[in-house]
Structure 1
């Protein structure tokens, strides 16, 4: 049975528009120059997996394959090691202060409290600007542009409270860790339907729904995960029946433009800025080939927003810092501007073609139509019988009059005998 819907399509102009959330990470999940523990962790993890700290390419090998193997081991080990504290894991990656030189929103300087921290299995420490939370402390969108109806028009689920016993396990697990996402539900489904049964452990890139789950963290198990994912061409074939569509979705149309930054003029200004100089003169020097981990300086930060603009430890090293070269600035500094090209947005809403009010209206109309039609039909039959009766009566009455006239005429047409004439004629006999 098809459940028809009415699509309400609107173009809405909103000013000022709500600013979307913006997340950024470092492509390298480990920062070895600002925490001495990071370098030691990397060396120890590589050593346990028989991977040399200095990768040497043998005949027939590719550098990218060796780097990917070492990288996958390091990333997976962070997720698999349940003994690592949250603070320790956070120190392995880049801090917000290390990554940001400056931030402005609506011509106002950003505060560190405007950023929300979370850890990604691929990129390590990530930070979201304009993170919005609801009363469940879960991320929610600023506004919605698409909304589906309830069952039977949709089997979507918004929260744990709306789930039922007949819902799939993967749908419930998805709702337990975030707002429902079909893609995330697919990932959890593939994890438990394919990866764990075949590899005996879980993919470290899939969000954890069970803290006791064994995570793949060695070369053989990670290779198994890779092979399983390569063989799965269509996730919907396995997981479509477990993962319904989202109730609400917000889709941004992204247009990206690039240009060289910074300019030559601004580079010569930026490279001498104190917090930029500091970022190019890290606290530690790390040399994995000789296991040299040497502390270079102590720093103290003093800034209302927590950004390290004033650094002074009294050492000769920091009294004569080395500014970065223009080439270093241009290859390491990125400026990102996020803005709306248009303040209009499209709202697409699906509504049931027949709701409760419409249903009652249709039933009442049909009921009235049938009742009215039946009564009129009955009257038509009665009218027909009356008309037939009248015609029969008229026909009978007309026949009776005709017969009477005929009899009268026949009686009057009999021959008349004049007795007087007959009596006057003599009898010849």
Structure 2
């Protein structure tokens, strides 16, 4: 239309002035035409956009009645919805590529350029035979790789450990604490009145019930000790006077050939032995800290030598099954369970105890259920564990003590009273102090250890770290006739016997104990993980690289592809 207008107004110029006017008018016409066309195009686009927005906003609300048309004759026709919508769709801008096609293109690009072995060859090759060959090789390598990685991860999740032992020789080395007890818990010089009172209370006399005493002297012995434990009127000093005092027992004492005396020992009460005395505990008799003694060399010359008098056999051995001393070698930080951790040293012998020190350090969870921090009451949630700190006032947890609490609980339920030889955390419960209840305790012990309860006390975890002293004992006859005369002349040992007692009786009442290091080497046993996280990562990475050529950077490529995939899907969801 515009071309026709231009041709209609065209005239043939006659001269130069007319020619200039002609071209000027022509430019104005063209400019007017361009402005008019831009205005029409702009109006057209605005109408189109408004129409598109209107249809998109109301598309879901349209129904068939909106598109019905009635002519002059009364006939009704329906306008096709598809035509209307196709008109709107044709007005839209050109569609972008479909999301599925984009994902396919990205996947092909990644497969062709990945650093993993096999996948690019499967994509790039034109020969179907070679494609299938490469596919089979890749799947076989991938399958075996997954199988080996599964085994590696399974081994890691089993949390197996390896044992690493180290032997370290130190000099000087700390000498352990040595606890000594008399197997005879009662010094009848001071305890006879209390013993008679206890026997009378239970209607036992030396004359009337002698047969009962002879049949079961151990029960009578336990009866007296239970009475001591359950008597709230007895003070620590009174209890110490019932047993053998260190002043009375100690004949000679030497450490590293330097004399020592009773002030180097601290007293501790034990149910089974009443009086026990610890040498080199790290504390003095008043509870003050003192330096721990050390030795510079192994052998019997650098040792603790004790000569002990353990009571005259003819007057001190009633209700006693054996004579001698109980010896426990332990670390200063540990309260020993003397009845289960020591050894008996007989009278009439010199006993040499060669010791070796060792430490065990176990791994805690997930490699085991042991407790690493045994000094914290919060390391385990069980009642017995916490009670060791709060009620027994101990500073370090030990599983052996916790297991004894389980036994105590069992006996309490069976006998309605407590076993005096076991630790007690039960408030307002009494000690079994009569024959019938003590027989119940003995029967309950047998029942407990023959049942599953003895091995299923879940409240008592094992401690991860522990120390131990292995003891090797040897003995020889002691004393010789010559040394008997020496003791008689150099000590007041004969004053402990009745008048007229021969020197040969010394043999039945004395013991010589010699404690020393066999070797200054200390054994440290450490558990280490059989498969560490670092070795797990190395083994998995090695198998991935060996079988399918995947490295750490290959995973970066996979992450990059996943990020692009995410954005493609995100854009699709956003546009919808």
* TM-score calculated relative to the size of structure 2: 0.51
Aligned partner of 1:151 in structure 2 is 365
- Distance in 1 (CA, whole Å) between partners of 2:451 and 2:257 is 45
Q: Deviation of residue 200 (structure 1)?
A: 0.2
Matched, 1:259 2:259: no
Aligned partner of 2:386 in structure 1 is 172
Aligned partner of 2:508 in structure 1 is 331
- Distance in 2 (CA, whole Å) between partners of 1:162 and 1:360 is 36
Aligned partner of 1:350 in structure 2 is 527
Aligned partner of 1:163 in structure 2 is 378
Aligned partner of 2:458 in structure 1 is 241
Provide the alpha-carbon RMSD of the alignment.
3.4
Aligned partner of 2:193 in structure 1 is 40
- Distance in 2 (CA, whole Å) between partners of 1:129 and 1:376 is 70
Write out per-residue CA displacement over residues 64-86 of structure 1, whole angstroms, 9 at most, x where no aligned residue: 41x22221110100111122212
The range that moved more, 248-257 or 39-48, is 248-257
Matched, 1:341 2:518: yes
Does the 8 A contact of 1:146 with 1:250 survive in 2? yes
Q: Which runs of 5+ in 1 are unaligned?
A: 282-321, 379-429
Alignment of 1:130-141 (within 5 A): 130-132=280-282, 139-140=332-333
Equivalent of 1:86, from 230, 236, 259? 236
The range that moved more, 150-159 or 218-227, is 150-159
Q: Deviation of residue 2 (structure 1)?
A: 2.2
- Distance in 2 (CA, whole Å) between partners of 1:197 and 1:237 is 13
- Distance in 2 (CA, whole Å) between partners of 1:375 and 1:250 is 50
Write out per-residue CA displacement over residues 390-413 of structure 1, whole angstroms, 9 at most, x where no aligned residue: xxxxxxxxxxxxxxxxxxxxxxxx
Aligned partner of 1:288 in structure 2 is none
Q: Deviation of residue 364 (structure 1)?
A: 9.8
Write out per-residue CA displacement over residues 313-342 of structure 1, whole angstroms, 9 at most, x where no aligned residue: xxxxxxxxx475222111111100111222
Alignment of 1:359-374 (within 5 A): 370-373=551-554
* TM-score calculated relative to the size of structure 1: 0.68
Q: Does the C-alpha gap of structure 1 residues 148 and 234 become closer, same or farther in structure 2, counting only changes over 3 Å? A: farther
- Distance in 2 (CA, whole Å) between partners of 1:161 and 1:233 is 30
Higher helix fraction (1 or 2): 2
Q: Which runs of 5+ in 2 are unaligned?
A: 1-156, 290-330, 335-355, 560-576
Matched, 1:3 2:220: no
Does the 8 A contact of 1:272 with 1:323 survive in 2? no
Equivalent of 1:75, from 193, 202, 225? 225
Write out per-residue CA displacement over residues 116-156 of structure 1, whole angstroms, 9 at most, x where no aligned residue: 211110111001111147x9999516976111233333443
Provide the secondary structure at the position in 1 that maps to 2:512.
Answer: coil
Aligned partner of 2:169 in structure 1 is 13
Aligned partner of 2:423 in structure 1 is 207
Larger Rg: 2
Q: Does the C-alpha gap of structure 1 residues 356 and 95 become closer, same or farther in structure 2, counting only changes over 3 Å? A: farther
Q: Deviation of residue 186 (structure 1)?
A: 0.9
Q: Deviation of residue 6 (structure 1)?
A: 3.6
Equivalent of 1:124, from 254, 261, 274? 274
Aligned partner of 2:214 in structure 1 is 63
- Distance in 2 (CA, whole Å) between partners of 1:175 and 1:5 is 31
Aligned partner of 1:268 in structure 2 is 485
Q: Deviation of residue 205 (structure 1)?
A: 0.5
Equivalent of 2:178, from 22, 37, 53? 22
- Distance in 2 (CA, whole Å) between partners of 1:329 and 1:253 is 31
Write out per-residue CA displacement over residues 355-412 of structure 1, whole angstroms, 9 at most, x where no aligned residue: 687789899999995443357899xxxxxxxxxxxxxxxxxxxxxxxxxxxxxxxxxx
The range that moved more, 19-28 or 94-103, is 19-28
Aligned partner of 2:203 in structure 1 is 50
Provide the secondary structure at the position in 1 that maps to 2:471.
Answer: coil
Write out per-residue CA displacement over residues 38-70 of structure 1, whole angstroms, 9 at most, x where no aligned residue: 221111111000010347544xx68241x2222
